[in-house]
Amino acid sequence: MGWLFVGPFGIVFLALLIAPLGYALYLSLFQKKLIGGTSFVFLDNYVKAFTDPSFLSGSWFVIRFSLVSIPLQIIVALAMALILDAVTSLFTRFSRLMIFLPYAIPTVIGAVMWGFLYSKSFGPLTDVFGWFGTTPPDFLSTNLIFYGLVNVVTWQWAGYYMIILYAALQGIDPALYEAARMDGAGKWQIALRIKIPLITPALVLILVFSLIGTLQFFNEPQILRSLAAGTIGPDFTPNMYAYQQAFALANFNYGSAISFALGGIVFVGVYVFLFFTRKRRSFL
């Protein structure tokens, strides 16, 4: 009887998840040559990927980017959630909505908007830095694009993570704070020793989501590419490289291998993370 309810989703799951994954694996084991057509090459595409400077530098970029941007987003989100949980006023209620607002914006539109702001011809940076008599940093240059993207991602996601953490904080029984106060705990101690430990499941949840999202980075650099063509190449992230191989160069076999290898990296990354936090993994 349960299959009656699970079945329709099951069909979609098989057709749009299992089948494409199987097909990607199959495609990734072949190579298409101008002479001789398509031939089975087993793991050659993977050997090629893991020795391909484009794939390796893209993977290294998303790993470095995760290490910087995820902690930053979580710290900003956690700080905001703790402030909003501790301070009650009309202004904090307004702030909560405004900080969440960027999440309601498609990532593509968010990237387009920040592209405007970074622009030297009509962005505000030139004006703002002009007030202080200096010239603005060029966030679309090779040196600073990393931080330009960190900023876009933080702006886009911190508010969403804040809402999840805020909802978790609101679910804590206030009697615990009272008990802690009677034991002489101050506001900081309550935040650090009671609030943060109690919302660890929510923190783990957003960490996993941001890890999965960041490793498959595509939309923002793809959009900013047209403004920073010399800075962001078609192989900037593994996902962009796979897209280029498949759709610009019609090399679907190698594109599939890169997608699959990237999927493997995400899987390993998330599992390693969950392994280290397994005691706290109450959300799964």
Partner 1 sequence: MSDRSLAGARRRPSRHLPLQVLLGFLVVYFLVPFWWVIVNSSKDAPGLFGGGNTLWFADHVDYLGNLRQLFTYDNGIYGRWILNSTLYAIAGGAGATILSVMAGYGFAKYRFAARRFSFALVLGALMVPATALVIPTFMMFSQLGLTNTIWAVILPSLLNPFGVYLMHVYARDAVPDEILDAARADGAGEIRTFVQVAFPLMRPAVVTVLLLSAVASWNNYFLPLAMLSDNRLFPVTVGLGMWQGIASANNAGSTSLWSLIILGALVSVIPLVIAFFTLQRHWRGGLSVGGLR
List binders of partner 1 among 56-115 (CB under 8 A).
76, 80, 83-84, 86-89, 91-92, 94-95, 97-110, 112-115
**Based on CB atoms, which residue is closest to partner 1, 147 or 267?**
267
Cβ at position 275, least distance to partner 1 in Å: 13
**Based on CB atoms, which residue is closest to partner 1, 16 or 63?**
16
φ and ψ at residue 171, rounded to 5 degrees? -85, -5
**Based on CB atoms, which residue is closest to partner 1, 41 or 117?**
117
- Work out whether 168 is an interface residue with partner 1 (CB under 8 A): yes
Among 20, 71, 186, 197, binds partner 1 (CB under 8 A): 20
Among candidates 76, 75, 110, which has minimal Cα distance to 221?
A: 110
Cβ at position 106, least distance to partner 1 in Å: 4
Query: How distant, in Å, are the alpha carbons of 24, 67, 216, 226 from that of 255?
Result: 9, 26, 14, 22
Enumerate residues 239-278 that contact partner 1 by CB under 8 A: 239, 242-243, 246-247, 252, 255-256, 259-260, 262-263, 266-267, 270-271
**Is residue 87 helix, strand or coil?**
coil
Among 58, 148, 159, 221, binds partner 1 (CB under 8 A): 159
Among 68, 194, 227, 233, binds partner 1 (CB under 8 A): 227
Cβ at position 143, least distance to partner 1 in Å: 20
> In this structure, which amino acid lies at residue 268?
V
Among 70, 149, 199, 207, binds partner 1 (CB under 8 A): 199
**Is residue 221 helix, strand or coil?**
helix
Question: What is the Cα–Cα distance from 112 to 191, expressed in whole angstroms?
Answer: 37
Region for residue 212 given its phi and psi (left: phi exceeds 0; alpha: psi -120 to 50; beta: otherwise):
alpha
- Work out whether 137 is an interface residue with partner 1 (CB under 8 A): no
Q: Calculate Rg over the CA atoms of the chain.
A: 23
Enumerate residues 24-63 that contact partner 1 by CB under 8 A: 24, 27
- Work out whether 192 is an interface residue with partner 1 (CB under 8 A): no
Q: Which residues contact 88 (CB under 8 A, 6 or more apart)?
A: none
Alpha carbons within 13 angstroms on the beta-carbon side of residue 132 total 7
Quote the distance between the C-alpha of residue 252 and its chain's center.
Answer: 25
Cβ at position 62, least distance to partner 1 in Å: 11
